[in-house]
Structure 1
Amino acid sequence: MRLVLTSDTHLPKRARDLPPPLWTAIDEADVVIHAGDWVDEATLDRFEARASHLVACYGNNDGPALRARLPEIAYADLAGLRFAVIHETGASTGRTERCAAQFPDVDVLVFGHSHIPWDTTSASGLRLLNPGSPTDRRRQPFCTYQTAIIQAGELTEMTLHNLPPRRT
């Protein structure tokens, strides 16, 4: 099962559209995971039209219309792995163990908010992933998203994709 993980798309505030490599990855994925901060309801509509299967939540920049369509925390069982998707997890200090305690029945927690890519595993085995942002790199060298494969109940081929700079 091929996954695409993204968050903090912030359309159209940060960009007019997503970078073409991300749209291509979405078109080819079995499941797309979005960890909030869509900003624009039309972006959610486009994801729903293009993604084979979408697992998504709302973020702190998402208004009432998006909050009416998306949960604060999305859960999914994907090929034997239990996923939770949430926008914000709090401060980076202590995040891994704090989230492991908050999500004891989850194998993979996907989150956003910071725009900083993250990939750690807690002592209890919870994998925490933040794909960064494909449109707003903030203090990071690149805008990013992640892809992964689920094979035999394991998350494999986890890749952080650096996107080319936007043309202005």
Structure 2
Amino acid sequence: MRLLLMSDTHLPRRAKELPAQLMAELPLADVVIHAGDWVDTATLDLLEDRSRRFLGVYGNNDGPALRARLPEIARADLGGLRFGVVHETGAAQGREQRCAARFPGLDVLVFGHSHIPWDTTAPTGLRLLNPGSPTDRRRQPHCTYMTATVAEGELTDVQLHRLPPRE
């Protein structure tokens, strides 16, 4: 099962559209995960329409229309792993312990908010993934997203993809 992970798209404020490289990944993904801060409902409509399976949450910049359609926390069993998605996890310091305590039944937690890619594992085995942002790099060198594979209850091939600068 191939996963496509993204967060913090902030459309149309930070970009007019999702990058072509990211859009090319949509038909290859079995599950598309978005960890919040959409800003517009058009991006949600697009991902729901073009995804085989979709899992997403709202973020702190998302208004009533998005909050009416998306949960604050989403959970799903994907290929034998228990996934969770949430927008905010707090400060980087202590994140692993804090998230392991808050989400004890999960194997993988996908989050966003900081626009900073993150891939660590808590002492409990909880894997924490932040794909960064495909449209707003902030202080990062690149805009980013992630792909991963789930097979036989294992998360493999977690890759951070760097996007070229927008013209």
Matches of residues 32-47 of structure 1 in structure 2 within 5 Å?
32-47=32-47
- Equivalent-residue separation in structure 2 for 1:56 and 1:110 (angstroms): 10
Tell me the CA shift for residue 134 of structure 1: 0.1
Identity of aligned residues (%): 71
Q: Deviations over 1:88-115 (max 9, x none)?
A: 0011110011000100000000000000
Tell me the CA shift for residue 48 of structure 1: 0.5
**1:67 is paired with a residue of what secondary structure?**
helix
Tell me the CA shift for residue 151 of structure 1: 1.2
- Higher mean displacement: 64-73 or 21-30: 21-30
In structure 2, the partner of 1:155 is 155
In structure 1, the partner of 2:3 is 3
- Equivalent-residue separation in structure 1 for 2:31 and 2:18 (angstroms): 17
- Equivalent-residue separation in structure 1 for 2:72 and 2:66 (angstroms): 10
Matches of residues 19-168 of structure 1 in structure 2 within 5 Å?
19-167=19-167
Structure 1 stretches of 4+ moved >2 Å: none
Q: Deviations over 1:34-86 (max 9, x none)?
A: 00000000110000111110000000000000000000001010010000000
1:129 corresponds to which letter in structure 2?
L
2:40 corresponds to which letter in structure 1?
D
**1:83 is paired with a residue of what secondary structure?**
strand
Superposed CA RMSD in Å reads 0.5
- Equivalent-residue separation in structure 2 for 1:164 and 1:27 (angstroms): 21
In structure 1, stretches of 5+ residues that fail to align are none
